[in-house]
A and B are shown apart, each in its own frame.
Chain A
Amino acid sequence: MSDIQKEPSMLLQKRLLADHFDALARAPEEGKKVVYTFVPGNLNELVRSFDLLPVLPEINALQSGMRKLSGGYIAEAEKHGHSEDVCTYVKCDIGMLRKGNIGPTGKRLPKPDLLLLSYTGCFTFMKWFELLREEYDCPVAMLHVPYQADGRIDPHQRDYVVQQLRSEVIPKLEQVSGKKFDEERLRSMLRLSAKAEDDLVWVLESARNVPSPIDAYFGGVYYIGPIFSAFRGTPEGIEYYATLRREIEERVAKREGPITPDGQLENERYRLVVEGPPNWTSFREFWHMFYEEDAVVVASTYTKVGGLYDTGFRHDPDHPLETLADYCLGCYTNLGLPARVALLERYIRDYKADGLLINSVKSCNSFSVGQLLMLRELEQRTGVPGAFIESDLVDPRYFSAANIKNRIESYLQMLDQKRQSKVAS
């Protein structure tokens, strides 16, 4: 990996993560309390306002995938009776736990003092923490976030979430931390969140430029890293997004393409919108398939799973609990299919995309069910041709490189041929 170009923002992110995992490793001896929670609908500001440290098992699972450890972890979980049919994030996490709970930086993760079960956009989360509760025997705070079936937030849905924050989540955080809820502190953190969110949205929207200075999927997963995990509402988060924004501003000024692990993409040939999470076990190989065809992802929905900001939502310090509720309700996979289609349609048009690619992952029914219909609908509405590939999040058995490469290549050649025939006619 030494040949990869590293920008200041990447180095900064690396340091942030290393510091965080160090802090987690020291937590037991320093008497710090730890909350496990999920990326979509995470209540980072609230958790941090109690001086609690968050652990995000999905991030650990995807890191295990990138470090080629997930296959072994999944096998371990399946050996213990977990079905081959179900979500591999869950199995990877359980397998990692069984093998000593060593985190992505090689340090042991502390046990949870609380499982904060934010049930947002994915049913499996609920079963995941029921399973972890068996392992850890610690309290669980359940936050049921209703589904935006109609693509809008009904006031009674917001009320429901706020009431749960008041009656279930905050009391349990108080109990675990031994501290009283400090609304002022929460507000000040939410203010920081909003600032970082502004910068993030600016960065994501920079892909409207031609050529795009960023890859909004493969590069995008790095950009969302801090704000989707432990750093929303923190000064470190602000610093990261300000740094990132400056970098991208420079690239826009120089009309430079995105930086990829294989070098800068010089000649943007295809602009794609991508729906669905990436595959983590072959992440670089997957990215390379785009790079070698000069394809850039200009917008993606995966970068909205931990918060949908580019439709205008920002954390609002004046309504701290309501804004947390709206945040949870608004995460991408919590939207009904018609709303997801509308968002993708907007991306295809606003970002001047040549194509739409759906990466359908076996693990994630929340994303995957209905994607074939979405594809058809979007092709009809936009006239932009779509492509469909299949893989998985962290199960290496479900990434067939030859098969995926074949499809991506065929698809891009098809786009090329169509473009040529349009020019000719």
Chain B
Amino acid sequence: MSGMRVFVGIDLGSTTTKAVILDDDEQVVGRGITNSRSNYDVACAIVRDEAFVRARFSMTGERMRRDPALGHVSDLFLPLLERHFRRQQHLALLASLRKSMLAAADTPRHRPYHEELSRTIEDIVDRMIERAQEHFAEGAARKSDFFRDIAAADYMHLAEERGNPKGITFETLCSMFDAAILVVENTIEEDAFNAHIRQALEAALPGVRASRPHPPGVPPGGDGDGAAPGALDLARYADALTRAIDDVRSVELIEAATVGTGYGRQRLPFPKEQIRSEILCHGLGAHAMFPKTRTVLDIGGQDTKAIQVDAEGIVTSFQMNDRCAAGCGRYLGYIADEMNLGLHELGPLAQQSHHRVKINSTCTVFAGAELRDRLALGQKREDILAGLHRAIILRAMSLLARSGGIADEFTFTGGVARNAAAVAALRDLVLENYGERTLNISHESIYTGALGAALFAVRAEKKAAA
């Protein structure tokens, strides 16, 4: 059995927990994200496992590319395999959910109608299993990748259908789910990759075709059952694929060092030396993503950080929002709720504005009232939103000024960095107040802190070795 050293960084944030795994060359091999739940230990374990799964997939890709028999199908096969893997994982969780709900139903309270309740639950979970096929079908769009979100949506829908005011009520069914989901979520699955990958492979191979409209340089699909034109029969690669996956399964991932960070870092089950502040991790992570970074702005759900780093990514100064959380990402959440919009819809709507309203306060306490008042005055939603985005960025500008200004290059991270209207407001204000600056925004910016933590893990290990 061979081994590979990896370095883990975990960022335990207030809304999501992230993990990044690096190899010896400081290259990212795996990432994971999950919602931080009340149980930080579980969130941490889940996200680690997720990152390890990703790491194994990236190793699988690597292994296939190196294999002359598989190199040309790796791009095709990997997503297919992963879809099946996710489905297997989902099915395993559904099985666990079924078990927990049946246990919840088997209590004295539900005795009079226990049989009917159990039947209904079985029935619903059966339907959820069928739906799982659709959720993980090729090209299927999922609103969320979190099990809780997918399962809850399915379950509520089915429970509504099956709930009967005179028999098993919708409310009773909901209470079954609520009791069970916590158990399921908080159950940590050891080594998910090895547990499900063989099943995933088997499910993917017989008769499954990956659609491939224009296969360059690869012979069109062979003689499988009902092969559509333009499809590739993977069955003939089965042996090579099985070997490749078994190789990957046999590699031991040696966790050489782990560093935790984030707002909840005090609650990570790590010794103190393995914990770094999120400021430091954020600075280093941003530096790793964009090596010329000198100033970092992070607007997250609960707080805003302005960080200055030197050429090595070492933090030289930082400022965080004061006790008042006005102007943080959560504020946009309130506004979205109040307007009955999705969070991601706010930015595009704000960008339609031609007459931005001047908003003076981004106080979360008054957000709803102020908004209703303005709408009542006949102000347009897009104009109010444009003003709000600018107000949020103005708060950030103050923190940046307090931390020492905006140097070139400037990296923007956090959930709000995905909001185009916020980014546009930032660009304007930076230009007006500091002149031309290169503004970096990464699609992976949510992993900045975890990446920094993983880099600290590498350094700590190397220092210890030296």
Contact = CB atoms under 8 A, between A and B. Distances in A.
Asked if A and B bind, the verdict is yes
Given A414-B279, A414-B318, A388 B402 contact: yes
A413 B402 contact: no
A136 to B, nearest CB: 35
A351 to B, nearest CB: 21
Contacts of B263: 402, 406
A385 B263 CA distance: 22
Contacts, number: 49
A407 B320 contact: yes
B428 interface: no
Given A388-B402, A406-B263, A421-B312, A413 B277 contact: yes
B278 A418 contact: no
A388 B319 contact: yes
A78 interface: no
Contacts of B319: 388
Interface in A151-201: none
Nearest to A360: B322
B343 interface: no
Contact of B323 (A376, A398, A411, A421): A398
Contact of B402 (A376, A385, A398, A403): A376
B315 interface: yes
A372 interface: yes
A420 to B, nearest CB: 9
Give the interface size class of chain A.
20 to 34
Contacts of A376: 402, 404
B280 A413 contact: yes
Contact of B316 (A385, A388, A402, A413): A385
Nearest to A379: B317
A418 B277 contact: no
Contact of A418 (B266, B314, B322, B404): B314
B280 A418 contact: no
B276 interface: yes
Interface string A373-412: 0011001000001101010000000101011011101110
Contacts of B278: 406, 410
Given A372-B402, A414-B318, A406 B277 contact: yes
Contact of B279 (A372, A375, A388, A410): A410
A409 B262 CA distance: 12
B184 to A, nearest CB: 29
A424 to B, nearest CB: 9
A417 B266 contact: no
A388 B315 CA distance: 15
A182 B125 CA distance: 94
B366 to A, nearest CB: 15
Contacts of B312: 421
B277 A410 contact: yes
A417 B317 contact: no
B314 A409 contact: no
Interface in B320-373: 320, 322-323
Most buried by A among B310, B323, B402: B323
Query: Main secondary structure on chain B at its contact with chain A?
Result: mixed
Contacts of A372: 402
A363 to B, nearest CB: 13
A403 B324 CA distance: 11
B301 to A, nearest CB: 14
A342 B323 CA distance: 29
Most buried by A among B266, B277, B310: B277
Interface in A320-347: none
Nearest to B317: A385
Nearest to A386: B317
A409 B277 contact: yes
B280 A414 contact: yes
Interface string B288-310: 00000000000000000000001
Interface string B37-77: 00000000000000000000000000000000000000000
Nearest to A375: B402
A403 B277 contact: no
Contacts of A390: 322-323
Contact of A421 (B277, B314, B317): B314
Contacts of A410: 277-280, 318
Given A376-B402, A417-B314, A403 B323 contact: yes
A417 B402 contact: no
Contacts of A398: 323
Interface string B400-411: 001010000000
A402 B323 CA distance: 11
A407 B323 CA distance: 12
B127 to A, nearest CB: 43
Contact of B276 (A386, A403, A411, A413): A413
Most buried by B among A386, A390, A402, A403: A403
A389 B266 CA distance: 19
B316 A418 contact: yes
Most buried by B among A400, A409, A411: A409
B402 A414 contact: no
A265 B278 CA distance: 26
Contacts of A388: 319, 402
A330 to B, nearest CB: 30
A402 B262 CA distance: 12
Interface string B377-388: 000000000000
A386 B308 CA distance: 13
Contacts of A406: 263, 277-278, 320
Given A409-B277, A410-B279, A417 B322 contact: no
B131 to A, nearest CB: 41
Contacts of B316: 385, 414, 418
A26 to B, nearest CB: 43
B320 A414 contact: no
Contacts of B322: 390
Contacts of A375: 402
B325 to A, nearest CB: 10
Nearest to A362: B323
Contacts of A421: 310, 312, 314
Nearest to A387: B318
Contacts of A418: 314, 316
Contacts of B279: 410, 413-414
Given A379-B317, A414-B280, 16 more contacts: A372-B402, A375-B402, A376-B402, A376-B404, A385-B316, A390-B323, A398-B323, A400-B323, A402-B266, A406-B263, A411-B318, A413-B277, A414-B315, A414-B316, A418-B316, A421-B314
29 contacts: A372-B402, A375-B402, A376-B402, A376-B404, A385-B316, A388-B319, A388-B402, A390-B322, A398-B323, A402-B266, A405-B266, A406-B320, A409-B277, A410-B278, A410-B279, A410-B280, A410-B318, A411-B318, A413-B276, A413-B277, A414-B279, A414-B280, A414-B315, A414-B316, A414-B318, A417-B280, A417-B314, A418-B316, A421-B310
Closest 6 A/B residue pairs (Cβ): A410-B277, A410-B279, A414-B315, A413-B277, A390-B322, A421-B314
Interface of A: 372, 375-376, 379, 385-386, 388, 390, 398, 400, 402-403, 405-407, 409-411, 413-414, 417-418, 421
